[in-house]
Structure 1
Amino acid sequence: MLDILVIAPHPDDAELGMGGAIMKFIAEGRRVGVLDLTSGEPTPHGSLEIRARETAAATKIMGLEWRENLGLPNRSLEPTLENRAKLAAVFRREKPKWLFAPYWIDAHPDHVAATELIEAARFWSKLTKTDLPGEPHHPQRIYNYYCIHLKQALQPAFVLDITAEWDRKLASVRAYETQFITGRPTASPTFFEHFEAEAAYWGKTIGVRYGEPFTSREPIGMRSMGELV
């Protein structure tokens, strides 16, 4: 059983959007899993074999013990009934308390489809009198992380301090060499300069070095103000 399941449209989205949070949750003793919906291929410089090696390297850097791939098609991800059943079956098997999905607005169609699929599968996961495998299960919370294709001024619900995790987050993203190093422009500002500046901006908003923003369609409950930064 997982405490937290991060669902990513492609390998590298979890690292980009919330790699710091993943490592923080693991350090706090929570059982965290990442489910990649697709292989992420084809891409200009990658292949299925290379992408699998890069994903394994990033997984090791983050200290993840649970990572699976649902095997849905890259570039044509759709929230179909068949895909909904596949994802709901994972929810019923692993019984996560919290789900993390991409933000529901994005320039990448796969990211938008992924969030629609996740929300529908969360509902299906709790159904009785169904041919879905396993016992009914309804994840308590669903939160949203932000992916790099979004071109919007964000208004997150909260920002998580990832200063202690930043170096390993950066290393986990660098593990995807075919996606973020090979063939990328080398003139400043580079991809990684932008990437760090963005994390530093979110850190500045809460008075720390680096941060990751999150939001939720649902109200976020609190028992006390004691853990606020």
Structure 2
Amino acid sequence: MNANNILVLAPHTDDGELGLGGTISKFISEGRKVTYVAFSTAEESVPEGFPKDILKTEVRNATAKLGILPENLIIYSYQVRKLNYVRQEILEELILLKKSQKFDLVFIPSLHDIHQDHTTIAQEGVRAFKNTTILGYELIWNNLTFNTQCFITLGEKDVQRKILALKEYQSQGQRDYLSAEFIYSLAKARGVQVGVEYAEAFEVVRLFI
């Protein structure tokens, strides 16, 4: 894929790592630039015993594990589950980001994702970057359906880095989708679909050749 400047739009901290952590690791190891934008740190949902801003720390540590440079991490503090109330503000921020540099490839949540925050970021991402190649990533617990139209092959190290990144989210507890077993299983399943050991799958929203 001929894309050297890549943008990842994550409604919440950890969505980008879950949806394409292996791909981010691969791209950075190939010398490509990856910018990661998180729109909510979900302070209202942080469990008791953790600082309210713990997810800011965790996303910094997690993205660093994947190789993302600190200056390429953008964190907003929109209220969790209410991104749809500020969709115009989000769109304007995305347009400013688009004007600041030329991205070759943008990753958004799947357009079939039913989480209200994910839907907002996916839709506004398409509006802002309609003239850019866009791929939708899967978070299978939120997808009623998902079209596996694009596959990015991964190496063992990419899957391992994805797992190490997700381990930084201590505040999220022992959720099934954060487990090493699940990450390996999904990467293996997507790999089987295309005859490789590991892969991540994406929906093609827009493709420019």
Range class of TM-score, shorter chain: 0.7 to 0.9
Q: Could you say which residue in structure 2 is the equivalent of 1:213?
A: 201
Match of 1:48 among 46, 52, 60: 52
> Counterparts of 2:107 and 2:178 in 1: how far apart (Å)?
28
Q: Matched residues, percent identical? A: 28
Residue deviations 1:85-104, cap 9 Å, x none?
Answer: 12211111132121111101
Residue deviations 1:106-136, cap 9 Å, x none?
Answer: 131111111111112225xxxxxxxxxxxxx
| Equivalenced residues, count | 200
How many Å apart are 1:148 and its aligned residue?
Answer: 4.1
Secondary structure class of the residue paired with 2:111 = coil
Question: Retained in 1: the 8 A contact 2:22–2:154?
Answer: yes
Q: Give the number of the structure whose alpha-carbon radius of gyration is greater.
A: 1
Q: Could you say which residue in structure 2 is the equivalent of 1:98?
A: 105
- AA aligned to 1:121 is A
Q: Could you say which residue in structure 2 is the equivalent of 1:146?
A: 138
2:159 equivalent to 1:166: yes
Bigger mean CA deviation after superposition, 145-154 or 165-174: 145-154
Q: Could you say which residue in structure 2 is the equivalent of 1:156?
A: 148
> Counterparts of 1:148 and 1:155 in 2: how far apart (Å)?
11
How many Å apart are 1:219 and its aligned residue?
Answer: 4.5
Structure 2: gaps of 5 or more residues: none
> Counterparts of 1:174 and 1:150 in 2: how far apart (Å)?
21
Q: Could you say which residue in structure 2 is the equivalent of 1:32?
A: 34
How many Å apart are 1:52 and its aligned residue?
Answer: 1.5
How many Å apart are 1:12 and its aligned residue?
Answer: 0.3
Bigger mean CA deviation after superposition, 16-25 or 142-151: 142-151
Match of 1:64 among 57, 62, 68: 68
How many Å apart are 1:174 and its aligned residue?
Answer: 1.3
Question: Retained in 2: the 8 A contact 1:16–1:148?
Answer: no
- AA aligned to 1:212 is E
Q: Could you say which residue in structure 2 is the equivalent of 1:195?
A: 183
Question: Retained in 2: the 8 A contact 1:17–1:145?
Answer: yes
Secondary structure class of the residue paired with 2:205 = coil
Structure 1: gaps of 5 or more residues: 124-137, 222-229
Q: Specify which structure has the higher proportion of helix.
A: 2
Question: Retained in 1: the 8 A contact 2:112–2:146?
Answer: no
Match of 2:172 among 179, 182, 192: 179
> Counterparts of 1:148 and 1:44 in 2: how far apart (Å)?
22
- AA aligned to 1:106 is D
For residues 112-151 of structure 1, what are the structure 2 equivalents within 5 Å? 112-123=119-130, 138=131, 140-151=132-143
Question: Retained in 2: the 8 A contact 1:143–1:214?
Answer: yes
Residue deviations 1:33-73, cap 9 Å, x none?
Answer: 10111113322525433212211110211110111013322
> Counterparts of 1:8 and 1:191 in 2: how far apart (Å)?
20
With normalisation by structure 2, the TM-score equals 0.85
Q: Alpha carbons of 1:81 and 1:142: their partners in 2 closer, same or farther (altered >3 Å)?
A: same
> Counterparts of 2:13 and 2:178 in 1: how far apart (Å)?
21
